[in-house]
Amino acid sequence: MFTGIVTAIGEVSALSQIESEWRLVIKTGQLDMSDVALGDSIAVSGCCLTVVSFDSNQFAADVSQESMRCTTLGSLQVGSKVNLEKAMQVGDRFGGHIVSGHVDGVGELIASEPEGKSIRLDFSVPENLARYIAGKGSICIDGTSLTVNSVKQNQFSINVIPHTQEETIIGTYKPGQKVNLEVDLVARYLERLLGTDVASGEGGISTDFLQRHGFLKK
């Protein structure tokens, strides 16, 4: 699990294919590697990857063909910048929101507009993800926990303050930029409760359920 608070910007130093998988080697920049062990998880632009080797300033991770196809990892090249966050520990400050590191889909930046010292970014998202995004809710973009300003059909907007622009790769985005998206886990569980179970007639939360338990008036 992660919090969506990026702690360093890394750089891809090597990318090679080993049989049916890919191996990424990433320079870790300011990321503290002193407590990292083999098998640990590190989020790379929102994708949870497992450390297979490391030293004080870089680590390697194996990436499946599926992950390369379904995330922006497939477009990385040597020199590409990435957001980095180590997995959270019990007792850590929780500054963002619950992030699993499992990318739901890829979005695209369609507009960028200065608003004071901040910038407003407008993204388009796949139709199947749009229903999980709510105004003033949370979304994870390339591993960064952000608040949604507004939503319209399959588009949403966010504001990015100067600190976030400087400490993540978001400050480099240009229209056309593809990004990894992870929607709020709560939205997915609510869909399960309100949708799938009710449709199958096997329980779940429905209007009738809420009325019978005093949460709605008839």
Residues 109 and 180 in one domain: yes
Query: From CA 30, how far away is CA 27, in angstroms rounded?
Result: 9
Mean pLDDT value across residues 165-179: 97
HSE-up (13 A, CA, CB side) for residue 179: 29
Task: Note whether 15 and 27 are same-domain residues.
Answer: yes
Q: What is the pLDDT of residue 204?
A: 59
pLDDT of residue 216: 72
Is residue 108 predicted with pLDDT exceeding 80? yes
CATH code, domain carrying 152:
2.40.30.20
Clarify whether residues 175 and 109 are in a common domain. yes
- pLDDT (tens digit per residue) in 115-155: 999 999 999 999 999 999 999 999 999 999 999 999 999 99
Does position 38 have pLDDT exceeding 90, yes or no? Answer: yes
Cα 114 from Cα 52, distance rounded (Å): 41
Residue 136 structural domain: 105-185
Same domain, 66 and 115: no
| 181 Cβ contact partners less than 8 Å away, ≥ 6 residues apart | 46, 103, 104, 105, 106, 107, 125, 129, 139, 140, 141
Q: Is residue 96, in this structure, part of any structural domain at all?
A: no
Residues 181 and 109 in one domain: yes
If asked whether residues 56 and 115 sit together in one domain, one would say no
In a domain, 93, yes or no: no
Residues 124 and 194 in one domain: no
pLDDT per position as a tens digit, 72-106: 999 999 999 999 999 998 777 777 888 999 999 99
Classified as helix, coil or strand, 188 is helix
Q: Is residue 173 part of a domain?
A: yes
Residues 138 and 160 in one domain: yes
Q: Are residues 58 and 129 in the same domain?
A: no
- Tell me how many domains the chain contains: 3
Across the chain, mean pLDDT equals 91
Q: Are residues 139 and 202 in the same domain?
A: no
Query: Is 100 inside any structural domain?
Result: no
Q: What is this structure's pTM?
A: 0.87
pLDDT at 205 (0 to 100): 63
Residues 129 and 194 in one domain: no
- The pLDDT tens digits for 46-58 are 999 999 999 999 9
